[in-house]
């Protein structure tokens, strides 16, 4: 080992994404003395405005939303004890098919090589041992999540070509299908009854998550689920869209305390399945 601390870099699309899928590992590894770096790619301007006003509705001010969400992101980072926050500040592209997908400065229309070059600069600076982002589908098909995946993998390839050194351990976030079923039951118990999806929506939903036996890495962060809940709650302006907050901390911890990943790059030879993103590194 050198004197350099072990470092985790999580690359996310929007303010609040850091808490949903990786809040537990960010809090756990920070508590273990590991440097935690969060890269947030967009400004979150397509989120809800004050009073819950929706994008495109009268009174929705994207600039005000960006400012508000930046403050919330900083508060979330404080809760999770994140060491370093980096923001790329691309414009939020909105959901797939929205006009904002093609707006000037939108992350979705940004050339991958441009975003990858900027992210590679951060990788050269922080030299992460572990990098976490989304899968090719962006977990649920959001254009900014897909783009975050693309620039992350391109930046890693760029660094590898430059240095010839082994890439960091790389993980994609996912959710076990068993937990997704339990999550659906929790929504039903809370009175949240989603309409029956049409066949096209059902086909898209089928891409979310993985069978339990295809998940490589299960990290128990239950002891930090309270911090994860509080980090989500810090994004108060988006509370209407964050069902998890309606569970209460106890139910939330039971459902969301273990975070799961697919390991896609590794030079350590750590045995799978594993329960630690840093297996083989310490």
3-state secondary structure of 263: strand
- Mean pLDDT along residues 48-55: 88
What pLDDT score does 140 carry? 85
C-beta of residue 143 within 8 angstroms of C-beta of residue 101: yes
Between these two residues, 86 and 203, which has the higher pLDDT value? 86
- Mean pLDDT along residues 62-79: 96
Q: Is the pLDDT reported for residue 4 higher than 50? A: yes
- Mean pLDDT along residues 81-90: 98
Tokens matching residue 258: 């273990």
Tokens 């509370």 — which residue? 239
Between these two residues, 259 and 248, which has the higher pLDDT value? 259
pLDDT band at 1 (very low <50, low <70, confident <90, very high): very low
pLDDT digits (tens, 9 = 90+) for 170-191: 999 998 888 877 766 666 666 6
Q: How many Cβ atoms are within 10 Å of 195's Cβ, its own excluded? A: 6
- pTM, two decimals, is 0.91
- CA atoms of 35 and 175, how far apart (whole Å): 25
Residues 6+ away with beta carbon under 8 Å from 261: 132, 171, 172, 173, 174, 215, 216, 217, 219, 277
Residues 6+ away with beta carbon under 8 Å from 85: 37, 38, 40, 73, 74, 77
């Amino acid at each position: 080992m050198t004197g350099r601390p072990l470092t985790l870099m999580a690359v996310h699309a929007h303010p609040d994404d850091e808490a949903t899928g990786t809040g537990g590992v960010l809090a756990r590894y920070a508590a273990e003395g590991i440097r935690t770096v969060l890269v947030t790619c967009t400004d979150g301007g397509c989120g809800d405005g004050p009073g819950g006003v929706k994008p495109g509705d009268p009174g929705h001010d994207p600039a005000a939303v960006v400012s508000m969400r930046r403050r919330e992101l900083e508060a979330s980072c404080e809760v999770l004890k994140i060491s370093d926050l980096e923001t790329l500040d691309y414009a939020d592209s909105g959901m797939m098919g929205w006009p904002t997908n093609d707006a000037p400065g939108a992350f979705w229309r940004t050339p991958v090589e441009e975003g990858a070059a900027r992210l590679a600069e951060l990788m050269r600076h922080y030299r992460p041992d572990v990098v976490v982002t989304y899968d090719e589908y962006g977990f649920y098909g959001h254009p900014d999540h897909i783009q975050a995946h693309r620039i992350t993998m391109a930046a890693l390839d760029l660094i590898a070509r430059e240095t010839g050194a082994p890439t960091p351990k790389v993980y994609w976030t996912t959710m076990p299908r068993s937990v997704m079923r339990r999550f659906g039951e929790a929504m039903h118990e809370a009175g949240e009854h989603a309409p029956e999806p049409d066949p096209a929506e059902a086909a898209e939903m089928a891409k979310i998550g993985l069978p339990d036996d295809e998940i490589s890495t299960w990290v128990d962060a239950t002891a930090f689920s309270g911090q994860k809940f509080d980090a989500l709650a810090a994004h108060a302006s988006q509370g209407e869209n964050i069902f998890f907050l309606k569970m209460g901390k106890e139910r939330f911890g039971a459902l969301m305390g273990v975070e799961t990943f697919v390991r896609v790059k590794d030079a350590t030879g750590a045995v799978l399945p594993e329960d630690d993103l840093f297996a083989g590194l310490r």
